[in-house]
Structure 1
Amino acid sequence: MIDRSISALRTLRPDHDGGIFWFRDDLHQPSPISPMGMTTVQKHHSWGYHVAAEQTSLPPSKGALVKLHKGRVYLGFTLIDDKAEVAERAKKFKQLLEYCTENWDSFYSGYIEEVSSLLATLHAVDADRLTNRHLYEHLLRAEEINRRNWEIHFILMYPADALYLEFEAFCKSHGLDENGMVALLVGFDGMPARTDEELWELAKAAKAAKLDRILLSATPASARSLLSEIPEGRDWLARFDAFLVTYGNRINAAHLDVIFHTWREDPTPVFETIRSYFRRIDDGWDFTAQRNHVFARREEAVAAFGASLSGEDHKTFLRMLPVAQKIYAYQEDHGFYIDQGSTAALHDVLAACGRRLARFGLLADADDVYFLTYAELSEVLGDLARDQKIGIYHHGALLPSLIAERKVQWESVSSLDAPLTVGNVPQTMTDPIAIKVFGIIDEVLHPKGEKVIASRLEGFAAAPGVVKGPARVVMSFEDFATVQSGDILVCPYTGTAWTPLFLKIAGVVTDTGGMLTHAAIAAREYAIPAVVGTWNATTSIKNGDLIRIDGAAGTVEVERRAN
């Protein structure tokens, strides 16, 4: 089985691991994981949970475990049973929350500056020019940086989510539901929003320079060649390349897997996004006006709720609101640096290792490096650093058959029926993070069936509004180019790489996620209706189906099936 081949240490064994509640992590990895992805990013994901839970004294848990089952990633949720220990941790955690309420800017920026600095040390190195010894050391450094960045991810996430929940509880105690509370927070300026704005400006610049005809008629590869032949095209390409330097460090698929290329490596998704915006421009849609509309609605909501409060309640509101808004922005902003940026940086180093092994004839293709585990790759590079000639001969007899076997196994696991839950499934879900981020509610724990085809679906009321239109089912980033202006996006999940689609879609429906998932947050930022966590949307809805979504009620109805 590929599970043990990838990592015997992290293979989920239901007969032995059944005392823990395991949940398939479709939110971060909705497809089979590569060997390298499991033994780097996913390994660090789990490690980060544990380090942060200890450092922040997270009261109910010491973090989640990550294991493989039928080629898919599962999270293992565990709780602390000792009530005295929980109480002691709660005291320390409360102190952290009080500190973060008053000092979130410095708390967040300090850690993000560390992340950015660490990533800069990797980007500054031309790995292809390193000696074998230095490439080996560069790999070790990249792996360590990725691990540290995932520690930071959860050190930030635990207090952030707790403060969000505190603010939600305060609002609910004064008659404001979660959607009403979120209306007080939307409209933030973070790196994902800046990415979208820059993409929009690139599209406008291309349109103004009359380059849209070239971009629409040519493939992305040939478009670059054609644009480079004319002055206005060269000017636009310079701006496009500058965009990639700042915003191109993200994995195309937005998964926690290093196997996928980045925007900087393959900017095809960026070209396709820009091309798709031309129709939106022709329709008169304006990015700035739309964003200003969101800002104005937020200020109206803040003023209305504030006016309903008095005395100490009003003072408490004014104290909690600024940090709640910043934390809401953090939910997306940190992903630019860690979930995507750090994964992309590690991918780049691994790609250089793959090119080195391919040059030595140890791999048929540089991308085959992702079918090795991290331990295997570090062993190979360490041996090459010790003696290149012997290392090539030694591993030339070991790698080809292993890679061939792993690729066959990886292709085969997609047909396996990996269950949604495994092990000690609780009768009810009480963990607020599991509910808010992953969308794990009681109906999911004991599902009616994620593969059931239905004409009416229910999920989280993620972003208000009612819209009717054609469904566009997108299972992965390869399908981004099929999304047209006015489509309703139906997908398993979304991540930061999906955000540019939100500038042109009319609504979004997802299988996974809760109120703090990416799709919900991005939909609110662009004022489009969203229903998330339906669990059977991509099973029930087909391309071209006429569907109606009610983002306030959390319902989706198929009104007419496509032929």
Structure 2
Amino acid sequence: MSELNNKQSNNNNFPVEWKNPRDADNFWVMDLSHYPKPITPLDYSFLVTKMFDATAKVQEEEGYPGRVYCRHINTYLYISSIYKCEIDQAEALLKPYYEKMDQVIRDLDKFWENDWLPKLKDHIAFWNNFDLKKASEQKLLEHLIETVERLEDSQKIHARLLTPVMLSMYYFNQMYHDLFPDSDRTEAYELLTGFETEFTKSDQQIWILSRQAIQSVEIKKILIDTDSANVFNRLSESSEGKIFLNDLNKYLQEYGKQTDNSVLSKPFFIEDPEPVIKTLQHYVNQPEHEDPSIQLKKAIEQSEKREAEIRKKLSRYPNPIVKKFESTLKAARTGSMIMTNHTHWLDNQTTCEARLVILEIGHRLAKAGAIKERDDVFYLRLEELQKILKQFPEVTIHSKTIDERRNMENRFAKIQPPPFLGIPPTQFPNDPILFAFMEVTGTPEPPSPDLPKNQIKGKPASSGKVRGIARVIHDLSEANKLNPGDILITDFTLPPWTTLFARISAVVTNSGGMLSHSAIVAREFRIPAIVGTGIATSVIKDGQTIEVDGDNGVVNIIETS
């Protein structure tokens, strides 16, 4: 076993016990881009393992010669990509696989509109048409079993779309830099911005609600003067407020099944609408030119302008190359759209629907005395949950097991887990999906001994240089700390964070690559971005003045808070 493996497996703060001893010889990477915090036993056994199992089945069907494995280590998620053959054999097996992917990439829009999206909507309709509260425990068990099956099918759709979507953007970036080798690293990706998504629609609807609110002196005053947690109660106290509340609830029914971290154990906006209220409160104070539709129009115009400039450069190339560029750009734009919209339909909606099923089960179990409180259900594993429901109304008390698992989570939540475990591979095959995947997730920037103490380094993801006040935000509940012109410091962002980008002057993240949400949206809003620093939220303090150099990927800490 290597020195790296010995050192990390025997860390006193993060001891690793490998259930399968062979796992110690593989290379495990912590999934910082999706799960930087501990995940519950139910999230892992229900959401995560089903996703990885579905991905493995799809990759086997499509002929991919490898598999990505997951492990729940000290409450954190680690993943490892392992080939089923020797590296030199893998490259030969990859050729027919990528020929299949090329066919999918050419018809990405058709696959999305005619296959993947209709199936996702069918699953969502199934959940919406089931009355959870009226169901017997037996019917609830049957519904849970079908929920698992439908979530697995949704994850198969996820696996089928994710590879060609990421490859479409990766291939375009490669072609762009082959044609224009002196171009900036972000230039190609700037052509993939400027289009309407489910999240821009959601944002626009909140803006419309804010314009409706300012027409009423009473409602505007409530939104301005009331703490976000109490706005719903205040609105329900008057007839005018109730009318507005009805419109707000309609918005939540359509767009409330989203969150800043799609896990089963965290509430979605439809349950806890405080992040929506905070955005509404912010918009109420904004002038008309801050209308998101105006911002979107500017982004579209800027993208079209960049495209026209590129077409002038392309004129010196032969017609076949120009045609190839056009088709590659079209596929990449479709891929970029799907990358964002699948988060709405798949990551958010299906997870929210599964959560609502689990919450009803948790309520029943707490009432029966099997667990102390509803949310204890997230500290059971899926197979334990199914077993309990089969035995209902007889129940076994699981309080001790749950307390032990909660205590374990609390213990490791205070510890910085190592980004890597196991033995790093000595070689990789020439596998485009690995490179494309890293464009989304990135890899943490290795520490540099030559870097001054007041600097941290990451990947330059959107150009520009600004100086401002740092605001360290870990989730959307802290978004009210942001003032116009502040610099957002966070682990990573997801589409529900998009509204924050209209307020900030730059963004710095711990994780992510050139195709992460933070990078894409920063380029759309024309603000500097540095991603994949690995340490931004732990080194930069809230309130410090910092300078973000988005061209060179360097953050300078100017003064302490």
Q: Give me the TM-score of the superposition, normalised by structure 1.
A: 0.89
Q: Tell me, yes or no, if the aligned pair for 2:170 and 2:436 is still in contact at 8 Å.
A: no
- The one-letter code sitting in structure 2 at the alignment partner of 1:33 is I
Output aligned runs, 1:44-59, within 5 Å: 44-58=50-64
Q: Tell me, yes or no, if the aligned pair for 2:487 and 2:507 is still in contact at 8 Å.
A: yes
Instruction: Quote the residue 1:240 is aligned against.
Output: 248
Q: Tell me, yes or no, if the aligned pair for 1:506 and 1:529 is still in contact at 8 Å.
A: yes
- CA apart distance, 1:242: 1.1
Instruction: Quote the residue 2:147 is aligned against.
Output: 142
- CA apart distance, 1:14: 8.5
Instruction: Quote the residue 2:517 is aligned against.
Output: 518
Structure 2 Cα separation of the partners of residues 206 and 422 of structure 1: 52
Output one character per residue of 1:204-253: Cα deviation in whole Å (capped at 9) or x when no partner: 322233323201322345422332344442332222111111111123x4
Task: Note closer, same or farther for the CA distance 1:84–1:420 as it changes in structure 2 (3 Å cut).
Answer: closer
The answer to whether residue 469 in structure 2 is matched with residue 465 in structure 1 is no
Equivalent residue for 1:181, pick from 181, 188, 204: 188
Structure 1 Cα separation of the partners of residues 227 and 135 of structure 2: 34
Larger deviation: 430-439 or 414-423?
430-439
- CA apart distance, 1:185: 1.3
Equivalent residue for 1:286, pick from 257, 271, 291: 291
Q: Tell me, yes or no, if the aligned pair for 2:70 and 2:80 is still in contact at 8 Å.
A: yes
Output one character per residue of 1:143-185: Cα deviation in whole Å (capped at 9) or x when no partner: 2221221111121011111222221111111114441111211
- The one-letter code sitting in structure 2 at the alignment partner of 1:45 is M
The answer to whether residue 70 in structure 2 is matched with residue 71 in structure 1 is no
Output one character per residue of 1:431-476: Cα deviation in whole Å (capped at 9) or x when no partner: 30342122127x54xx559xx9942222122122222211100123
Structure 1 Cα separation of the partners of residues 234 and 414 of structure 2: 42
Instruction: Quote the residue 2:390 is aligned against.
Output: 382
Task: Note closer, same or farther for the CA distance 1:187–1:377 as it changes in structure 2 (3 Å cut).
Answer: same
Output aligned runs, 1:455-534, within 5 Å: 455-534=454-533
Task: Note closer, same or farther for the CA distance 1:108–1:56 as it changes in structure 2 (3 Å cut).
Answer: farther
Task: Note closer, same or farther for the CA distance 1:34–1:134 as it changes in structure 2 (3 Å cut).
Answer: same
Instruction: Quote the residue 1:550 is aligned against.
Output: 549
Equivalent residue for 1:360, pick from 365, 368, 372: 368
Structure 2 Cα separation of the partners of residues 480 and 52 of structure 1: 38
Instruction: Quote the residue 2:11 is aligned against.
Output: none
- CA apart distance, 1:265: 1.1
Task: Note closer, same or farther for the CA distance 1:330–1:366 as it changes in structure 2 (3 Å cut).
Answer: same
- The one-letter code sitting in structure 2 at the alignment partner of 1:335 is T
Output aligned runs, 1:110-125, within 5 Å: 110-125=115-130
RMSD of the TM alignment (CA)?
2.4
- CA apart distance, 1:361: 2.3
- The one-letter code sitting in structure 2 at the alignment partner of 1:206 is A
Q: Tell me, yes or no, if the aligned pair for 1:254 and 1:497 is still in contact at 8 Å.
A: no
Q: Tell me, yes or no, if the aligned pair for 1:32 and 1:410 is still in contact at 8 Å.
A: yes
- The one-letter code sitting in structure 2 at the alignment partner of 1:331 is M
Instruction: Quote the residue 1:369 is aligned against.
Output: 377
Corresponding residue SS for 1:490: strand
- CA apart distance, 1:139: 1.0
Instruction: Quote the residue 1:297 is aligned against.
Output: 302
Corresponding residue SS for 1:489: strand
The answer for unaligned runs of 5 or more in structure 2 is 1-15
The answer to whether residue 199 in structure 2 is matched with residue 192 in structure 1 is yes
Corresponding residue SS for 1:339: helix
The answer to whether residue 441 in structure 2 is matched with residue 435 in structure 1 is no
The answer to whether residue 204 in structure 2 is matched with residue 201 in structure 1 is no
Task: Note closer, same or farther for the CA distance 1:468–1:137 as it changes in structure 2 (3 Å cut).
Answer: same
The answer to whether residue 111 in structure 2 is matched with residue 107 in structure 1 is yes
Structure 1 Cα separation of the partners of residues 288 and 250 of structure 2: 28
- CA apart distance, 1:266: 1.3
- The one-letter code sitting in structure 2 at the alignment partner of 1:529 is P
Structure 1 Cα separation of the partners of residues 551 and 339 of structure 2: 21
Corresponding residue SS for 1:208: coil
Corresponding residue SS for 2:405: helix
The answer to whether residue 343 in structure 2 is matched with residue 335 in structure 1 is yes
Larger deviation: 124-133 or 175-184?
175-184
Structure 1 Cα separation of the partners of residues 211 and 453 of structure 2: 41
- The one-letter code sitting in structure 2 at the alignment partner of 1:399 is H
Instruction: Quote the residue 1:95 is aligned against.
Output: 100
Corresponding residue SS for 1:531: strand
Corresponding residue SS for 2:186: helix
Corresponding residue SS for 2:264: coil
Task: Note closer, same or farther for the CA distance 1:453–1:495 as it changes in structure 2 (3 Å cut).
Answer: farther
- CA apart distance, 1:274: 1.4
Structure 2 Cα separation of the partners of residues 77 and 164 of structure 1: 21
- CA apart distance, 1:284: 4.9
Corresponding residue SS for 1:304: helix
- The one-letter code sitting in structure 1 at the alignment partner of 2:383 is A
Structure 2 Cα separation of the partners of residues 289 and 467 of structure 1: 23
Identity value in percent? 26
Corresponding residue SS for 2:340: helix
Task: Note closer, same or farther for the CA distance 1:51–1:192 as it changes in structure 2 (3 Å cut).
Answer: farther
Output one character per residue of 1:82-138: Cα deviation in whole Å (capped at 9) or x when no partner: 44454244224313313431x221111211210121122112212111011000111
Task: Note closer, same or farther for the CA distance 1:200–1:465 as it changes in structure 2 (3 Å cut).
Answer: farther
Structure 2 Cα separation of the partners of residues 296 and 15 of structure 1: 56
- CA apart distance, 1:428: 7.3
- CA apart distance, 1:326: 1.0
Output one character per residue of 1:508-560: Cα deviation in whole Å (capped at 9) or x when no partner: 10000101111112222323221111111112211111111122322211122
The answer for unaligned runs of 5 or more in structure 1 is 1-9
Structure 1 Cα separation of the partners of residues 66 and 240 of structure 2: 56
Instruction: Quote the residue 1:6 is aligned against.
Output: none
Equivalent residue for 2:257, pick from 249, 253, 264: 249
Larger deviation: 270-279 or 160-169?
270-279
Corresponding residue SS for 2:83: coil
Structure 2 Cα separation of the partners of residues 417 and 13 of structure 1: 22
Equivalent residue for 1:131, pick from 136, 158, 181: 136
Corresponding residue SS for 1:50: helix
Structure 1 Cα separation of the partners of residues 229 and 73 of structure 2: 39
Q: Give me the TM-score of the superposition, normalised by structure 2.
A: 0.90
Structure 2 Cα separation of the partners of residues 120 and 545 of structure 1: 48
The answer to whether residue 48 in structure 2 is matched with residue 42 in structure 1 is yes
Corresponding residue SS for 2:29: strand
Corresponding residue SS for 1:76: strand
- The one-letter code sitting in structure 2 at the alignment partner of 1:208 is Q
Larger deviation: 351-360 or 216-225?
216-225
Structure 2 Cα separation of the partners of residues 291 and 283 of structure 1: 14
Output one character per residue of 1:295-325: Cα deviation in whole Å (capped at 9) or x when no partner: 1111111111112123222121222221111
- The one-letter code sitting in structure 2 at the alignment partner of 1:295 is I
Runs ≥4 in structure 1, deviation > 6 angstroms? none
Instruction: Quote the residue 2:398 is aligned against.
Output: 399
- CA apart distance, 1:64: 1.1
Output one character per residue of 1:399-454: Cα deviation in whole Å (capped at 9) or x when no partner: 1222222222221121334211011223677730342122127x54xx559xx994
Corresponding residue SS for 2:552: coil
Instruction: Quote the residue 1:7 is aligned against.
Output: none
